[in-house]
């Protein structure tokens, strides 16, 4: 396979200044609703048909709330991974993790982080940069209680990012945790949410001939957002 020959000519949409709302978090919610198939009846039909076709040809469905999280440790070394968005509000973007995981440790050392969302069926991308802080414990507890029991036990059983000798050891730890908590599973002290407060958001819409539409919202000192079109 020659990777240089892999190309896609984007033709499924366009984006212009009047199409964007003043608040980028509201704009994100609009795009996310479209990616999730929430919106007009015709759009829902088109998205459902597209997903059906993907299933027919054997492509697994994508998680529309999947995002790449980029962090940098205290030595300036970057790392990335996919995590799931679990909320967005006026404060920013919310996700959950083990605070002692690699991403948790890096965010403790350096709270500056970035997110990337990519929805290939819509030929759209959103890039977010800002600072992360821990979610209040009460909110982490509320989300933790909503998780399936198996996932709750997994949060206790997994020392995320640490070396394990084999799969059996991990499963034994899970079984020991299940025996330890036969009833309700409490929130682990090292597990909870982060909220990334955005300072910059970019909305990208693929266009033909690589002349993509790209807009950047930059947060201003007076609390407003400055919106500019960027060259692709």
Whole-angstrom Cα distance, residue 181 to residue 156?
Answer: 10
By DSSP bridging, strand 92-98 and strand 213-219 are unpaired
Instruction: Provide the residue-wise pLDDT of the chain in tens; the chain has 232 residues.
Output: 766 666 677 778 899 999 999 999 999 999 999 998 855 554 455 555 555 555 554 555 578 999 999 999 999 999 999 999 999 999 999 999 999 999 999 999 999 999 999 999 999 999 999 999 999 999 999 999 999 999 999 999 998 888 889 999 999 999 999 999 999 999 999 999 999 999 999 999 999 988 999 999 999 999 999 999 999 9
Q: Is 54 exposed, middle or buried (0-12, 13-18, 19+ CB in 10 A)?
A: middle
Q: Domain limits of the chain? A: 13-137+189-229
Query: 7: how many CB neighbours lie within 10 A of its CB?
Result: 6
Predicted structure pTM score: 0.86
Question: Which residue among 210, 214, 216, 229 is the active-site one?
Answer: 210
pLDDT score of 57: 47
Q: Does domain 13-137+189-229 have CATH number 3.40.50.150?
A: no
- Token digits of residue 19: 């199409």
Query: 20: how many CB neighbours lie within 10 A of its CB?
Result: 17
Q: Is 58 exposed, middle or buried (0-12, 13-18, 19+ CB in 10 A)?
A: exposed
**Among this protein's residues, is 210 annotated catalytic?**
yes
Residue showing tokens 């990334």: 196
Whole-angstrom Cα distance, residue 194 to residue 200?
Answer: 18
């Amino acid at each position: 396979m020659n990777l240089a020959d892999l190309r896609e000519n984007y033709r499924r949409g366009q984006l212009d200044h009047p199409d964007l709302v003043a608040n980028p978090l509201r704009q994100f919610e609009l795009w996310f609703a479209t990616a999730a198939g929430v919106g007009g009846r015709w759009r829902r039909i088109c998205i459902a048909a597209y997903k059906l076709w993907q299933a027919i040809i054997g492509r697994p469905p994508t998680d529309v709330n999947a995002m790449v999280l980029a962090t940098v440790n205290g030595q300036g070394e970057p790392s990335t991974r996919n995590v799931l968005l679990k909320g967005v509000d006026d404060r920013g973007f919310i996700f959950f993790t083990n605070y002692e995981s690699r991403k948790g440790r890096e965010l403790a050392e350096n709270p500056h982080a970035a997110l990337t969302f990519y929805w290939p069926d819509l030929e759209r991308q959103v890039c977010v940069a800002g600072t992360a802080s821990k979610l209040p414990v009460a909110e982490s507890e509320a989300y933790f209680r909503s998780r399936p029991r198996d996932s709750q036990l997994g949060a206790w059983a997994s020392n995320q990012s640490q070396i394990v000798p084999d799969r059996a050891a991990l499963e034994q730890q899970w079984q020991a945790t299940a025996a330890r908590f036969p009833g309700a599973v409490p929130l682990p002290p090292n597990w909870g949410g982060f909220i990334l407060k955005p300072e910059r958001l970019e909305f990208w819409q693929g266009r033909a001939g690589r002349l993509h539409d790209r807009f950047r919202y930059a947060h201003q000192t007076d609390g407003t957002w400055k919106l500019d079109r960027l060259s692709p």
